[in-house]
Amino acid sequence: MPDVMTLRLIIDDPVPGVRYSLQKDDLPFEPRTAGEGPLAFELPVTVHPDGRLTGPFVRREGAERRFVYIRIGTSAGDHAAAWSRRAKIDIHDIPHALRLPGARLEVHLPGRGKDGSPACATVRPVTAWRPV
């Protein structure tokens, strides 16, 4: 029987004034506008006995890759924003030893690209997944 764990995604340096949200079922979920500090999102993920990760926030590519999207700017519902982006956060690479029912894991993410605009496409964590 599958069970649930919680993932916490922390954007360390989001662009202030830009709206961010999780993507749930292909729609923005609980959008919020970034301030001067970090921005965190928590989401439930179903952990199956075989280690697969699923749920309404989880997307997939192929048989193995699982990820979640963070929507940015117009994608997060701010139609006046200068950006329309999504950041793809891989979760298939969470170590199997951490994929435990009831676990709470967090990861820190960069919020900006090299040009200072919101990070997008596949965003690599600045820290490894860790239990909290």
Residue type, position 33, single letter: T
Q: How confident is the model at residue 14 (pLDDT cuts 50, 70, 90)?
A: very high
Work out the average pLDDT over 88-95. Answer: 97
pLDDT in tens, 108-127: 999 999 999 999 999 999 99
Question: pLDDT tens across 33-88, in order?
Answer: 999 999 999 999 999 998 899 999 999 999 899 999 999 999 999 999 999 999 99
Strands 3-11, 19-24: pairing is: unpaired
pTM comes to 0.94
The pLDDT assigned to 1 comes to 60
Torsion angle in degrees (nearest 10) through CA of 16, 110, 61, 20: -10
